[in-house]
Structure 1
C-alpha cells in the first residue's frame, strides 16, 4: 500500500489522471524517476529561503511530465513553508498586455495561492487574517492592551496605523494603496462588514476594472493593472516573508500560449517581461521569490518565435554545452525533462494500481506480469516511440482498470490487445499552421 495516502488524495489522483490532467494534491505518491530534479529544487529552495531569488524553465515534450513536475515542486515547497501559486498561460492570460490579459494572469495567480494547510488554493484570505492577527498581537503588546480589548472599535485607528506602518516598511511601488486596502480588509474583519472585506479582497486579487469603482468602494486612487501587477506580486512576496514564510513560489505552465501569440511585437514584449523577472531574480533586485516556467523544446529553441528568438533571453537560456543525457546539470536555469524509462513507468503503474484499489475499495485482478504484458502490447504498437507519452500510458491503464472494476468478467488480455496509439500533440502546435500577422 502507498504510505500516508489520504482518501481525498487517492480520489484526486485517479479522477485527474483519467481526465488527462495532473492532480492538485497527492502527486508525491506517484513521483518516479525525478529524484535528481527534486534534490536540485530542494537545494534551490534553501537558497531562496536565505534571501536569493530563482527562475527555472522546465522543458519537455507534450505529455512528458512538465505539469506534473510543477505540481511536485508545489508539494516540496509547501513542506518547506513556502507560499505557492500556480497559473496557466492561455490566450487570455499572459505576462505583457495592454488589454487586461496581464492582470488576468495576476488574478489567476492570486486565486491559486496555497499554503500547507490549504494546498488546493484560495489561501489569500487566510494569509491576510494571519498577518493581521500578528499586527494585532504586536500592537497589544507594545501598548499594554489585552488581546481581548485591542479588538474593540476604539482601537481601530491604532491597528490601522500599525498596518500602514508595517506595509510601508516592507513594500516599494504601490505600497500606499496596498496598505490602505489591507486596512480596509481589517476594518471589515473587525466590524463584521463582509462586503468591505470582499471588496478589499477583490482589489488585492486584481479584479477591479476601473479606478472609479475602486475609489467608490475603498477610497483608493489606483487599481492593479497590466502595468503594475508584477510590483504587487513582489509586495505580496515581502508580506509573506514578513509573516514567517520562507518565500513565494510562482509556477506558470503552458508557455506554448506565449509562443502562439501571432503578433510578433506583443510576443516579444512577453519575452521581455520574462527577461525582467529573470534579471530581477538573478541580480538580487528581489528576494525570496521563485519563478518556474514550463514549456516544450520548441517554445524554448525555435528561432522564429520561441524564447531563443529574443536574443537577450537566448544568451541566458542556452544549455550547458558539457551536459549530456548521462551527465546532467540541474543548477542551470533550463532543466530538460527526459522521458521516463520503461522500468520507471512499470513502477508508476504499480503505484497507480495500488491507489486505484484503495480509492475504490476493490482488488482488481492485475499482477506484475499483467502490467508487463500491458506495457509490451502498448510499446510495441506502430508509432509508440514517436507519439506515446506517459499521460497516454497512464490514462489507458486506468481506463482498463475501470472497465475491469465494473465488468470483472471481461478478459483483460483482450483489452490489452485492443490498445491503440494516437498522436496527442495539438494540431495548432505546428509552426506552419500559425500565421504571422
Structure 2
C-alpha cells in the first residue's frame, strides 16, 4: 500500500492535513469514493486535448472536499501533460475589478504554474526557457547553423526574429508587447543578464504597476492589467500548446469570496466575466483551455447574490432535471460533490494510518476495530449529523495518532471519548447581514 508513496509526499500529506489544508502533492494516495467524477474528468481532458475548451463548477457543502478535488484534478492533468495553475479567490483577488484586484488574481495564477517535473508550481521560467530552446533549435535547423554556433551574439537578431514571428502566429490581443518581453527574456537568458530576465518575468506575471516603469526596464508600451489579463492567459495557453503540451488548466477555488463582494454591481461584473469565459470555451473562441471553479451550494444557488442571481449564468448552470442522487450526469458544467459515506471514510482513515506510520517510521497499534470505534464516537456525538465534515474527522484522527505516537501507553478509548464536534462552517448569516447592510447604504 505504501510502495508508491515517496517520503516527501507522506510528510506533505500528514503536515498539511494536520493543519487543515489540502497537500499540494500526494493527494492521489488518499483518494476515495471519487472514481466516477475522475473518470468523467479524464474524458473532459481528452476533449480539451483535441482542441475543445471546458468550464466546470465543483459544488459542495463546506468541508465536502472541493479543495481536495482541485488538487486531485491537478495530479491527473499533470500526468496528461497539461500545464496547470491554482489560485484562490480572496477579498483582494477577483475576476473583474478596476483597482488591481483582477490582475492580482492573474499574478497568483502565473506564480502557481506547474508542470509534471515541477508539480508544486513556479514553473513559468522553466517553460519559457524550454520554449526558447525549441525556437533556437528550429532556427538553427532552418538556417543551417550548427547548434553550437547559433547562440553566438551575432545570431541574436535571427533568434529574435524567430521568436517574434512565432509569437505573432500564436497570439491574439497584446501579442506585440508579449513578444518583445519574451525576446528580452531571451536576451537575459543568453547573456546571463539576471536583471533583464527578472524584469521580463515581472512583466509576464503582471507585476508592473506603471507603464513608465515597464518602458524604462523593457522598452514596452503596455503592461498587463485588470482589462487585458484574460487575453494574456489565452496567449499563454496557445504558447504552451505550441510547445507540445496538451493544454492549460486553471483551478479557481474559494468562489465564496465572489459571493461576498459587498456591492451588487461589482458582483455582477465578476459573474459577467465568468459568463464571458464560459461562452468563449463552449463556443470555440479559445482552444485547449480548461477552467475549474469551486464553491458552496450557496455560491451557486443563492438567487440574490450567488451565480444564479445572474440570469444568463443560471440558465446555463441549472442541474439536469433528470439527475438524481443515484443517477448522476457528470458531463454537465456543474458537478455536485456528495459527502463521503462511512465506508469511504473508513478506507480513507486506514490509508492515513499507513501514511502516518511511513512518515514517522513507526507501526502504531491501531486496529481496524479501533478505527471503527473512533468513527462511532465521532458520528454519534451531538451535532455530528449537522456539523461534522471530512476535514474535521481527518484532523481529529491524525491528532489522535500524534498523541498515541508520543504517548504509547495512553488509553485510546479515553481519547476517543474526549472528541468534541465543532461547527467549522463560515457564518453565512453574518455574511448575509453584512452585505445586505452595505447594499442598503
* Aligned match of 1:133: 133
Q: Is 1:215 equivalent to 2:215 in the alignment?
A: yes
Is contact 1:387–1:422 with CA below 8 Å preserved after alignment? yes
* Aligned match of 2:249: 249
* Aligned match of 1:76: 76
Is contact 2:203–2:214 with CA below 8 Å preserved after alignment? yes
* Aligned match of 2:424: 424
Q: Shift in Å at residue 2 of structure 1?
A: 2.5
3-state secondary structure, aligned to 2:33:
coil
Q: Distance in 2 between matches of 1:105 and 1:167?
A: 24
Superposition pairs of residues 50-65 of structure 1, within 5 angstroms: 50-65=50-65
Superposition pairs of residues 176-195 of structure 1, within 5 angstroms: 176-195=176-195
Q: Distance in 2 between matches of 1:117 and 1:126?
A: 10
Q: Distance in 1 between matches of 2:66 and 2:187?
A: 42
Q: Distance in 1 between matches of 2:429 and 2:150?
A: 59
Q: Shift in Å at residue 306 of structure 1?
A: 0.1
* Structure 1, unpaired ranges of 5+: none
Normalised TM-score (structure 2):
0.98
Superposition pairs of residues 35-50 of structure 1, within 5 angstroms: 35-50=35-50
Q: Distance in 1 between matches of 2:380 and 2:298?
A: 27
3-state secondary structure, aligned to 1:292:
strand
In structure 2, the CA distance between the partners of 1:203 and 1:143, relative to structure 1 (3 Å rule), is: same
3-state secondary structure, aligned to 1:85:
strand
* Aligned match of 1:268: 268
Is contact 1:13–1:23 with CA below 8 Å preserved after alignment? yes
Q: Shift in Å at residue 429 of structure 1?
A: 5.7
Q: Is 1:398 equivalent to 2:407 in the alignment?
A: no
Q: CA RMSD in A?
A: 0.7
Q: Distance in 1 between matches of 2:400 and 2:247?
A: 42
Q: Distance in 1 between matches of 2:259 and 2:272?
A: 13
* Aligned match of 1:148: 148
Q: Distance in 2 between matches of 1:427 and 1:415?
A: 29
Q: Deviations over 1:346-393 (max 9, x none)?
A: 000000000000000011110100000000000000110100000000
Q: Shift in Å at residue 164 of structure 1?
A: 0.2
* Aligned match of 1:316: 316
Q: Deviations over 1:300-319 (max 9, x none)?
A: 00000000000000000000
Q: Distance in 1 between matches of 2:429 and 2:358?
A: 38
Q: Distance in 2 between matches of 1:359 and 1:391?
A: 20
Q: Distance in 1 between matches of 2:383 and 2:434?
A: 23
Q: Distance in 1 between matches of 2:236 and 2:107?
A: 13
3-state secondary structure, aligned to 1:149:
coil
Is contact 2:263–2:435 with CA below 8 Å preserved after alignment? no
Q: Deviations over 1:88-122 (max 9, x none)?
A: 00000000000000000000000000000000000
* Aligned match of 2:435: 434
* Aligned match of 2:88: 88
* Aligned match of 2:202: 202
Is contact 1:428–1:434 with CA below 8 Å preserved after alignment? no
Q: Distance in 1 between matches of 2:355 and 2:413?
A: 22
Q: Is 1:305 equivalent to 2:319 in the alignment?
A: no
Q: Shift in Å at residue 3 of structure 1?
A: 3.5
Is contact 1:58–1:66 with CA below 8 Å preserved after alignment? yes
Q: Shift in Å at residue 157 of structure 1?
A: 0.6
Q: Distance in 2 between matches of 1:171 and 1:383?
A: 55
Q: Distance in 1 between matches of 2:429 and 2:27?
A: 28
Q: Distance in 1 between matches of 2:405 and 2:268?
A: 51
3-state secondary structure, aligned to 2:150:
helix
Is contact 1:30–1:348 with CA below 8 Å preserved after alignment? yes
Q: Distance in 2 between matches of 1:396 and 1:173?
A: 51
Q: Distance in 1 between matches of 2:24 and 2:214?
A: 33
* Structure 2, unpaired ranges of 5+: none
Q: Shift in Å at residue 81 of structure 1?
A: 0.1
* Aligned match of 2:230: 230
Q: Deviations over 1:269-325 (max 9, x none)?
A: 000000000000000000000000000000000000000000000000000000000
* Aligned match of 1:342: 342
* Aligned match of 1:281: 281
Q: Shift in Å at residue 426 of structure 1?
A: 1.3
3-state secondary structure, aligned to 1:150:
coil
